[in-house]
Structure 1
Amino acid sequence: MPATAKICGLSTPDTLDAATAGNASHVGFVFFAPSPRNVGVAEAAWLAARVPATIARVGVFVDPDDALIDEAMAAARLDAVQLHRVTPARAAAIRTRTGAETWAAVAVRTRADLDAAVAFRGAADRLLYDAKTPDGAALPGGMGLRFDWSLLDGFAHAMPWALSGGLDAGNVAEAIGRTGARLVDVSSGVESAPGVKDASRITAFLRAVRSDRA
């Protein structure tokens, strides 16, 4: 099965169009005010209307309340919710209430972090392995950090998963080959500045993902 990619933190038409033209499998909209990638619900709805039906729309939330999830899902017609800083119980409650495909982000620094991810079995549909940010960091991801991919060697994954953290056009093919990831997720790796996506970098990233299929 060839690898596919999610381009996360999109906020402009030209970069969204670069993601869809490059055959990204997913596009992500961030609903978290402290993030430089945050979009309002109305803005996300306008952008989501440009997304072809063949590409999944993912809402990215950090410890969200139900009202925000409901508003974003209805306005942007989200296909999936990606949850950061939530417990398995909270992820399960959101999954049950919304009926949406649910991703649980797992912050990784050690093998123990991976082992703890088994708690999301039955509570989420997919795990997103991302690099653990420094203690006290305002953002749970999108900081260009990469964890040690060797931690995934021989790991028995509890459910479908995706790889994130420090990926860019220069290393994504290596990451796919090294870890066996079938879905990769990028945000800062296709930016010219924090929160500023670059259409040419998106194109190059997706081309590099496709090179794994050769």
Structure 2
Amino acid sequence: MSKIRTKICGFTRAEDAAEAARLGVDAVGLVFYEKSRRFVSAAQAQAVVRALPPFVSVVALFVNETEAVIRQILQQLPVDIIQFHGDESPEFCRRFDRPYIKAVRVRHTQDMLDAAVLYADARAVLFDAHVAGEYGGTGHSFDWRMLPDDLNSHWILSGGLTPDNTAEAVRTTGAKAVDISSGVESAPGVKCPQKMAAFLAAVRQMEKGAR
């Protein structure tokens, strides 16, 4: 199996991000959504980014945020990719001249097919579980069997992943990119080094074709 890209989302502490980078994660996610238990201020985010070595991507996550606030964060932080995790339109996502990921809260297969068309210029669409009133980080997964076979776009598997089920998730879906948050935490926003290591080890095993 080819390389599987990994993102760990919801960092609030610089030391956790540094450890994730040491373990080999491809991208770290910073949540700029005030209702999230993993919300970071610009100052916290800057400390996290300073702890990262070169070539680890920084993803800034927003949920139905205003254009002004997003642009303010982009001025304060070296963001590589924007992740829109709310109900943002394709037109809104394109305003920032920055690669972006669009999250989709999955209820039906058609949700994924529609998103692939609507956000065709996204770096990827991210499939997360639909939980009423919540925008990610819930620890819930959706039925992976709903993934369509003919999805002609880059996509990321998210929602309810843990070190224990990541290999099964990749095996079932054929995912080439996975995104985890609560599944590697000891508390909201506090990442567990052992869980992060186990998650990344599970991904590496799948790359090698281990069963």
Q: How does 1:1-214 map to 2 (within 5 A)?
A: 1-89=2-90, 92-95=91-94, 97-133=95-131, 135=132, 137=133, 139-154=134-149, 156-214=150-208
Deviation at 1:122, TM superposition (A): 3.4
Q: Specify every segment of 5 or more residues in structure 1 that has no aligned partner in the other structure, as ranges.
A: none
Task: Tell me the percent identity.
Answer: 36
**Cα distance between partner residues in 2 of 1:132 and 1:143:** 9
Q: 2:14, 2:49 within 8 Å by CA — same for their partners in 1?
A: no
Deviations 1:166-197 (A, max 9, x none): 00110111111111111100001011233332
Q: Matches of 1:114 and 1:5 in 2, distance apart?
A: 20
Residue 82 of structure 1, CA deviation: 0.4
What is the identity, as a one-letter code, of the residue corresponding to 1:51? Answer: L
Partner secondary structure for residue 100 of structure 2: strand
Asked if 1 retains the 8 angstrom alpha-carbon contact of 2:109 and 2:148, the reply is no
Q: Distance in 2 between matches of 1:94 and 1:47?
A: 25
Amino acid at match of 1:169: P
Q: How many residues align?
A: 207
CA contact (8 A) 2:124 2:156 kept: yes
Offset of 1:153 from its aligned partner?
4.6
Instruction: Give the letter aligned to residue 148 of structure 1.
Output: D
Tell me the secondary structure at the aligned position of residue 42 of structure 1: helix
TM-aligned CA distance change 1:87 to 1:183, over 3 Å? same
Deviation at 1:123, TM superposition (A): 4.6
Inter-partner Cα distance in structure 2 for 1:118 and 1:182: 16
Q: How far, CA to CA, are the matches of 2:108 and 2:120 in structure 1? A: 23
Mapped contact 2:10–2:189 kept (Cα < 8 A) = yes
SS at match of 1:117: helix
CA deviation digits over 1:34-85, x for unaligned, max 9? 1010000111012112222211100010011112211222222000000012
Q: Once the 2 structures are TM-superposed, how far is the Cα of residue 146 of structure 1 from its aligned partner?
A: 0.5
Q: Match of 1:212, SS? A: helix
Question: Is contact 1:88-1:119 (8 Å) kept?
Answer: no
- State the secondary structure of the residue aligned to 2:207: coil
